[in-house]
Chains A and B, each alone.
Chain A
Amino acid sequence: MLPGHIGFISLVFSLFISLILFFFIFQDYKSESQAPSLKVYSLSFLQLLTIIISFFCLVLSFVISDFSLAAVYQNSHTTKPLLYKISGTWGNHEGSLLLWLLVLSIFSFCFLVQSKYTPKKYRLLTVLFQNIITIGFLLFVIKTSNPFLNLFPVPNEGLGLNPILQDPALAIHPPILYLGYVGTSIIFSSALSAMIHRFVNPSWADSIKIWILTPWIFLTLGIMLGSIWAYYELGWGGFWFWDPVENVSLMPWFSLTALVHSIIILKKRDTFHSWVLILAIITFTLSMNGTFLVRSGILNSVHTFANDPERGFYILTFLFLLILLSLIIFFIYQPKDNSVKSFFLFSRETAISVNNWFMMFFLSAVLIGTIYPLILEITKDIKISVGAPFFNIIIIPFLVPFLFFMIFGPKLKWIKTNENLMSKKLIFNFFLSLVFSSIIYFFWGKTTLLNSIIFLLGLFLLLTLLFEFLETITKKNKVNIPRIISHFGFGLLIVSISLNTIFSVEMDINLKIGESYKFKKYELKFNSISGKVEKNFNSLLGSFSLIDPKGDISYLKPEIRIYNQPSITTSEANIKTNFFYDRFITMSNIQNSEFFNIRFQQKPMMIWIWISALLISLGGILSVFRQKD
């Protein structure tokens, strides 16, 4: 119907505009003028506008349930709540790529407008590279993943969106994550352009910093939202599974985090040029790679999304060409570091290099763990999976030196530090943390020494930062508040996760109605079950009472939902949250039996894990605003 047609025409139109824009950028590039011409501005704007129209048309088609479009038919249903009709737009491959394209053009346009204090040729070339990426994706969408594909005859009713995806956190997770992924394209384009124009210097670092922080903030939030969703929707009560699809979003985060740190060296000390450029290229490659791996369906993951080898092939070819282009540019225009700025061992330069080393280590470990199964499958036709044990063994021990450097690194000064880092406060903090962690280690005793050391260092980091923060407020010291907040968030994350692993209580049991079960001073009773009919699903609501070791009774009501369209059964966890712990219960029915499968968990500090992720990104947000001053 109409919106679908307009959407498609608008998309094709956008491709033409992009090609014309390509031509005008070249023309403008040769001209003598000081700023890009109005043509470039207006064409960029038109490019953005046509993509917005196209995207809006697709959303509209979902809202009015226009089943003449295949994408709507396959992923929507008339009885679905409005929010999930809208989020259904990007809950599928075709729509999510249109969203990718939308975010890409928003970023390109914002860059063009925001970068007015940088050299003209550098700006134009950056926009040109962005335009190449846009054209690539436009072709990809139109050719292999057209969301406006028509169906005939028009079906009366859609197939519905997978109920597991009908969830508020997952409704906003893809847009936020894409703002992170796609945002890295600007870093890539501008790095290539700056290289060609010999503009890799502190003033470039200053102008690009905001474009590094923005995707970093969104990527952090996007990963967190995905994790929250997995926590309550998948019903396992964990928040990170080392699933390939999760790893794929974590890898660009590591390199982006390294970049957030090393760009500071470039800005303040005018060194590390090549390394910053390599990181910029790696980050975008990993983001594209993420799209490729998830969308091609190569990954053997718990997130089995629809897939198509042709699409994977296209993205892979496109990615290959982009990497080739960037490598050629890198080897031709590689910055000649004539002025290697020397620095001493005890300096902030060293501290940041150490941070980057660790980021690269974590990145490589995750990369190897994620792609090794793929390589083995292709070369030897053996199917394996690499799970949590591998990542835990390889990453957790390295957190010890990492946290240590995170405590002392930021205290070091540029070039050389002569002062003694050991202050009385620091020693006091250390002993306080030591006391706490020893109590946990010796009295509860069900944890490993390694976990206790990590907890100790995490706590030490928290206390140190807390003191720094208090000093800043009282003395108005010139200390970097955003850094303190982000690092504090990370320390809190480590402490929360340690406490979570040490003090979790969990049990799996099969119960009939009326039965009760005792475990570790807890008693769980299965009282009753009741049925309810909702708009697009039927629900079975269980009623449980839990008597905890103190004798307090709490009531828990997990739910089983049987969705009509598509007909899928899901468990809705019932989670009781407070500041100290989450109580988490799920139930599922077992075929041919009166038993219900019950999973109960008491997970300490859960809310603090989410809060710490928020703090990490809050630091980034503050840093963006501080820049403007």
Chain B
Amino acid sequence: MYGKKVKFRAAFILLVLISLVLIIYLSLKTLEDNVVYFLSPTEIQNKEEIKKNEKVRVGGMVKKNSIKSYTNYISFILTDYKNEINVTYSGTIPNLFSEEKGVVAEGTLKDKNYFIANKILAKHDENYMPPKINNSLDSK
């Protein structure tokens, strides 16, 4: 039979393995439900179906003369120069948010043309562009 020490070691290693599997399983499971996809207006147009409660991020440029403000919210049009989408937003507006500048908005899609944002992300850099816009501008 195995000695006490060996048994203890085996139990210990088993414990470590179990907790490892547990950690990875839990993390991935949680990730699945909490991931936020990053889309461009064109990708939204090309989407086959829209889940209404799914949180997404949309990146693009704020269209010229499109910002309208009201007491409880603002609205603007977000474009990637191919397609555009209407956005309404209530919450903090970062200073770098202005027309013809890049912006990333987080929220839910009502339909393919209408996006309800609950967060606008501030970027530290005034020359920042959402990654996909950068790609599509380069390819022009």
Q: Which residues in A have some Cβ–Cβ distance to B below 8 Å?
A: 162, 164, 234-236, 300, 302-305, 340, 342, 357, 361, 364-365, 368-369, 372-373, 382-387, 389-390, 393-394, 508-511, 517, 560, 566-571, 586, 588-593, 595, 597, 599
- Size bracket, chain B contacts: 35 or more
The verdict on A593 contacting B23 (CB below 8 Å), with A368-B31, A508-B90 known, is no
Question: In the bound complex, what is the Cα–Cα distance between A571 and B93 (angstroms)?
Answer: 10
Question: In the bound complex, what is the Cα–Cα distance between A568 and B125 (angstroms)?
Answer: 9
- Report, nearest first, the 6 A-B pairs whose CB atoms are least far apart: A383-B38, A390-B34, A597-B93, A593-B69, A569-B95, A595-B69
Whether B36 pairs with A588 at a CB distance below 8 angstroms is no
Question: Which of B34, B69, B72 touches A387 (beta carbons < 8 Å)?
Answer: B34
Whether A386 pairs with B123 at a CB distance below 8 angstroms is no
Whether A394 pairs with B126 at a CB distance below 8 angstroms is no
Chief secondary structure at chain A's binding surface: mixed
| Chain A residues with CB under 8 A of B72 | 509-510
Question: In the bound complex, what is the Cα–Cα distance between A162 and B124 (angstroms)?
Answer: 8
Whether B26 pairs with A394 at a CB distance below 8 angstroms is yes
| Chain B residues with CB under 8 A of A586 | 92
* Cβ contacts A to B, 27 pairs, < 8 Å: A162-B124, A164-B124, A235-B94, A235-B95, A236-B122, A302-B123, A304-B123, A342-B8, A383-B37, A383-B131, A385-B36, A387-B34, A393-B30, A394-B26, A394-B30, A509-B71, A566-B126, A568-B126, A588-B93, A588-B94, A588-B95, A590-B74, A591-B67, A591-B97, A591-B99, A593-B67, A595-B69
Nearest-CB distance from B68 to chain A (Å)?
Answer: 8
Whether A508 pairs with B91 at a CB distance below 8 angstroms is yes
Q: Does B28 touch A at the CB level, under 8 Å?
A: yes
Whether B94 pairs with A386 at a CB distance below 8 angstroms is no
The verdict on A386 contacting B69 (CB below 8 Å), with A162-B124, A599-B92 known, is no
Question: Which of B27, B71, B94, B99 touches A364 (beta carbons < 8 Å)?
Answer: B27
Q: Which residues in B have some Cβ–Cβ distance to A below 8 Å?
A: 5, 8, 19, 23-24, 26-28, 30-31, 34-39, 57, 65, 67-74, 90-99, 121-126, 128, 131-132
Whether B36 pairs with A369 at a CB distance below 8 angstroms is no
- The chain B residue with its CB closest to the CB of A304 is B125
Nearest-CB distance from B90 to chain A (Å)?
Answer: 6
Nearest-CB distance from A529 to chain B (Å)?
Answer: 16
Nearest-CB distance from B118 to chain A (Å)?
Answer: 10
Whether B95 pairs with A570 at a CB distance below 8 angstroms is yes
| Chain B residues with CB under 8 A of A386 | 31, 34-36
Question: In the bound complex, what is the Cα–Cα distance between A233 and B38 (angstroms)?
Answer: 26
| Chain B residues with CB under 8 A of A589 | 95
The verdict on A384 contacting B38 (CB below 8 Å), with A340-B5, A508-B91 known, is yes
- The chain B residue with its CB closest to the CB of A306 is B125
- The chain B residue with its CB closest to the CB of A571 is B95
| Chain B residues with CB under 8 A of A368 | 24, 27-28, 31
Whether B31 pairs with A372 at a CB distance below 8 angstroms is yes
Whether B69 pairs with A508 at a CB distance below 8 angstroms is no
The verdict on A162 contacting B34 (CB below 8 Å), with A361-B23, A590-B69 known, is no
- The chain B residue with its CB closest to the CB of A394 is B30
